[in-house]
Amino acid sequence: MKNPIWKYGLLAGGIVVVLMYGSFLLQGDDFDFSRGEIFGYATMIISLSMIFFGVKSYRDNKLGGGITFGKAFQVGLYIALIAAAIYVIAWMLYSSFAATDFMDQYYQYAMEQLQNSGATQEEIDKQVANMERYKEMYKNPFFKMGITFMEIFPVGLIVALITAIVLRRKVVEVG
């Protein structure tokens, strides 16, 4: 594949999916939500490190070694979009076939955390109402896709921004 954007976008998406599915297989029915968030974001950062390699490849092979901040950020953004799309598709499939009760499990976990938080009954009631509303909205596949996209894409934006800052380089013209 000659286009580094597609190559590294697909690679980043593949890595995040393999690590996500792998973590689910390793944990089985005993999914630990308290560690899941940390592991999930670590997985995203590992996979989205492909943005750095994709921008570097684009800079070195397509642009002769120089790249502006804007172009580097644009390339990183495209890689992040591809990876995020793959992540969303993978989660939609997984949550539709293998983890159909995911939101019920998460709701139960959130309620336990809330009960143990020491919050007042008024605060608990307000949070329960918010979770009930969120649980209902999560049944809408478009809402679920949007929420899933917003889990990974902001991380990709940050990685693309840092990459653009680090890899920008002016082209030195000889002559």
Q: What pLDDT was estimated at residue 152?
A: 96
What is the Cβ-side half-sphere exposure of residue 167, based on CA atoms within 13 angstroms?
27
Collect all residues with Cβ–Cβ distance below 8 Å to 87 and sequence separation of at least 6: 13, 16, 17, 20, 148, 149, 151, 152
The mean predicted confidence, pLDDT, of the chain is 89
**Is residue 121 classed exposed, middle or buried when 0-12, 13-18 and 19+ CB atoms within 10 A define those classes?**
exposed
Count the residues in the chain. 175
User: pLDDT tens digits for 11-29?
Assistant: 999 999 999 988 878 776 6
Q: What pLDDT was estimated at residue 118?
A: 78
The residue among 97, 5, 92, 19 whose CA lies nearest residue 51 is 5
pLDDT at residue 75 is higher than 90: yes
| Gap between the Cα atoms of 24 and 109, Å rounded | 17
Phi, psi (deg, nearest 5) at residue 169:
-160, 135
The structural domains of the chain, with segments of one domain joined by +, span 4-99+150-167
